[in-house]
Amino acid sequence: MPRPMPLPLLILAVFTTGVSARVLTGRQVFDQTCQTCHARGIAGAPQFGNRGAWRTHLAKGMKVLYEHAIHGYYGYSFMPPKGGDESLTDSEVRAAVRYMVAAVRPHGLALDPHQ
């Protein structure tokens, strides 16, 4: 008969099952999730690399962009929370936002992630 697992290890196993130690980069998150809408501008999503499409979004500042990307936005466009992938961490979503914004910001303009 197999020995039972000690309680602390059992608790650890239960709470870590399905939790990944991976941390995705902004580009990886974009490729995995965001590109579904942002590659073609589906549901009003500003297209990746299109400065004109991002102009009004950028004017709101990074703080608002992060908020909409993490918690969703339902207004003149549709943005599901975390792009519809709830397994993403807030940090991974912010990295994806920074990746997309970096593709459209004027060269030489510093990106303030706290804005």
Q: What is the pLDDT of residues 41-86, one digit of tens each?
A: 999 999 999 999 999 999 999 999 999 999 999 988 899 999 999 9
- H/E element, 74: strand 73-74
High-pLDDT (> 70) share of the chain, %: 74
Distance CA 115, CA 60 (A): 9
Q: What is the pLDDT of residue 107?
A: 65
- Please count the other Cβ atoms lying within 10 Å of the Cβ belonging to residue 113: 13
Three-state secondary structure call for residue 73: strand
- H/E element, 98: helix 90-102
Q: What is the pLDDT of residue 114?
A: 53
pTM: 0.76
Q: What is the pLDDT of residue 71?
A: 98
